[in-house]
């Protein structure tokens, strides 16, 4: 790399620290130190993708296949800390890292080559412009690196929704209805897809988006999120 010397100099003056424990990172470590990486509060949902709290929660809203989450969401815990860095501290690379880590775990569990494509829940263009990136798309990119399935961006958000917080389950579903549309069905028809988002709480957003893909002829839609909400 051209700026290696400069990067080394920067690292000397401003050492990169772990996003979780704040200890200095070694050169071979990226964003989260090895010791924190092995201690992440992971779920085992991919080992029982049809029988876990998220799968049960979304049942009845949509006909998806597997429902999986990388991390358990704990308020003020590690997953919240990482998601905060990803969403509000301008760290798109955190999403890529989490996607890579989860993708590698999925490959170890036999999930290689089962998806034809990966879709991320889109942000409204105005919101994406403000943030500079879509955190869920970053997660999708990391998963794609590990799984070898391409990421598609033909699912778009057409309506700006008010915040989902403090809304009942039915209100949340009404709030996101007709929010998504597909620019092209070519990447969807007869394909096995993985649809991803950052957090799943009620599942309303993911269910509505999954239904758009299913209505366009997807053979199967599986879901994966960075963290399972309450």
Which parts of this chain interact with Zn ion (CB under 5 A)? 18, 20-21, 33, 36
Smallest distance, Zn ion to C-beta of residue 117, A: 34
If the CB atoms of residues 21 and 174 are measured against Zn ion, the closer one turns out to be: 21
Tokens 């839609």 — which residue?
Answer: 221
From residue 40, alpha-carbon distances to 33, 44, 72, 210 in Å are 11, 12, 9, 28
Give the SS3 label for residue 203.
coil
If the CB atoms of residues 78 and 120 are measured against Zn ion, the closer one turns out to be: 78
Smallest distance, Zn ion to C-beta of residue 42, A: 15
Asked if residues 198 and 83 have their Cβ atoms less than 8 Å apart, the reply is yes
Tokens representing 211?
A: 């239904």
Smallest distance, Zn ion to C-beta of residue 35, A: 6
If the CB atoms of residues 18 and 54 are measured against Zn ion, the closer one turns out to be: 18
Q: Which residues pair with 118 in a beta bridge?
A: 151, 194
Asked if residues 155 and 180 have their Cβ atoms less than 8 Å apart, the reply is yes
Smallest distance, Zn ion to C-beta of residue 107, A: 24
For the chain, the farthest-separated pair of C-alpha atoms sits apart, in whole angstroms, at: 56
If the CB atoms of residues 18 and 64 are measured against Zn ion, the closer one turns out to be: 18
């Amino acid at each position: 790399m051209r700026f290696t010397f400069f990067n080394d100099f920067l690292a000397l003056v401003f050492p990169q620290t772990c996003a979780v424990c704040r200890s200095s990172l070694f050169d071979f470590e990226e964003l989260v130190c090895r010791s924190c990486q092995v201690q992440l509060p992971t779920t085992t949902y991919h080992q029982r993708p049809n029988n876990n709290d998220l799968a049960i929660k979304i049942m009845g809203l949509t006909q998806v296949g597997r429902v999986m989450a990388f991390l358990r969401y704990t308020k003020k815990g590690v997953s919240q800390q990482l998601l905060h860095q990803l969403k509000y501290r301008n760290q798109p690379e955190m999403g890529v890292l989490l996607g890579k880590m989860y993708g590698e775990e999925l490959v170890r569990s036999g999930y290689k080559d089962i998806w034809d494509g990966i879709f991320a829940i889109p942000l409204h263009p105005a919101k994406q412009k403000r943030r500079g990136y879509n955190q869920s798309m970053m997660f999708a990119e990391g998963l794609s690196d590990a799984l070898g399935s391409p990421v598609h961006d033909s699912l778009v958000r057409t309506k700006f929704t008010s915040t989902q917080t403090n809304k009942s389950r039915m209100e949340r579903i009404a709030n996101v209805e007709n929010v998504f549309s597909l620019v092209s069905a070519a990447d969807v028809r007869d394909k096995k897809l993985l649809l991803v988002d950052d957090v799943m709480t009620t599942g309303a957003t993911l269910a509505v988006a999954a239904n758009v893909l299913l209505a366009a002829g997807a053979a199967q839609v599986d879901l994966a999120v960075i963290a399972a909400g309450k």
